[in-house]
A = this chain, B = another copy of it.
Amino acid sequence: MDEYINKQLTTTLKAISDPTRRSLLTKLVQQGPMRVTQLATYYEMSLNSISKHIKVLESADLISRKTLGRVHIIEATPNSMQCIENWLHSLRSIWEIRLDTLAEIMEYEKENNNESGK
């Protein structure tokens, strides 16, 4: 696989493998753009930790940030998760191709056995 895509995949998967970050993302997708303090109110965690999580999501391109004065508006950019779906689908298609091939082989074997069994 393309090494660039592979790294992007790693970054994206690591980012969403944390439950707090998944929750942040979901919140942003549900409620729309929001500022950091606003987001943080939903969690027991310190604001600083939330800010750190946002940074991780940002470097995975899962969110974008618009700075208005001292306020940062955070918006989900869920398109960046496409790479995950792509990987899942490619894996699934490889899987199905192999199962099909296997089925064909078994069919062939069966016929062969029938021949020799005549």
Where the two chains meet, the residues of A that have a C-beta atom closer than 8 Å to any C-beta of B are 1, 6, 9-10, 13-14, 16-19, 22, 25-26, 29-30, 32, 76, 78, 81, 84-85, 87-88, 91-92, 94-95, 98, 102
The answer for the CA separation of A10 and B19 in the assembled complex, in Å, is: 7
Q: Are A94 and B19 in contact (CB under 8 A)?
A: no
The answer for the CA separation of A104 and B76 in the assembled complex, in Å, is: 20
| B residues in contact with A25, CB < 8 Å | 91
23 CB contacts below 8 A, A to B, read A6-B22, A9-B19, A9-B22, A10-B17, A13-B13, A13-B17, A14-B17, A22-B87, A25-B91, A26-B91, A26-B94, A29-B91, A29-B94, A29-B95, A30-B94, A30-B98, A32-B102, A76-B95, A78-B91, A81-B88, A81-B91, A84-B88, A85-B88
